[in-house]
Amino acid sequence: MTVVTVGIIGIMTVLMAVQLKSMKGEYGLYLVLAAACVIFFYGTLRLRGILEGMQKIQNMIRINPVYLNTLLKMTGITYIAEFSSGICKDAGYGALGTQIEIFGKLSILAVSLPVILALLDTLQGLLA
């Protein structure tokens, strides 16, 4: 599924949801939620190609696998947090969506902390 296809699905879903909003507002929300889940599913299918590309990069430059795993975790956290937050905001629960975004950012910071500490140790070794 290409970006154009995803864009068309999104636009068509929103147009249908706007039409349904005048009759039964909750049906529009369910329609948008279903389309978001389909797009989320196809987005996760793209991860296989990303993982293969990361393996090639790791083999080419002999980088520590911890760094690439951390990068993948950060990407996953971002994807899930943004998806969940967007659904909450679309449903009218903006405060909950914002809290999910904040938790996602804190989770990314927690996951990346070992890499930041390793970088600081390396810099300290170079400066000493």
Burial (0-12, 13-18, 19+ Cβ within 10 Å), 32: buried
The pLDDT of residue 107 is above 90: yes
Is there a contact between 109 and 47 (Cβ–Cβ < 8 Å)? no
Per-residue pLDDT of 38-93, as tens digits, reads 988 888 888 888 888 888 888 888 878 888 888 889 988 998 999 899 988 888 88
**Global pTM value:** 0.73
Per-residue pLDDT of 14-38, as tens digits, reads 889 888 888 887 888 888 889 988 9
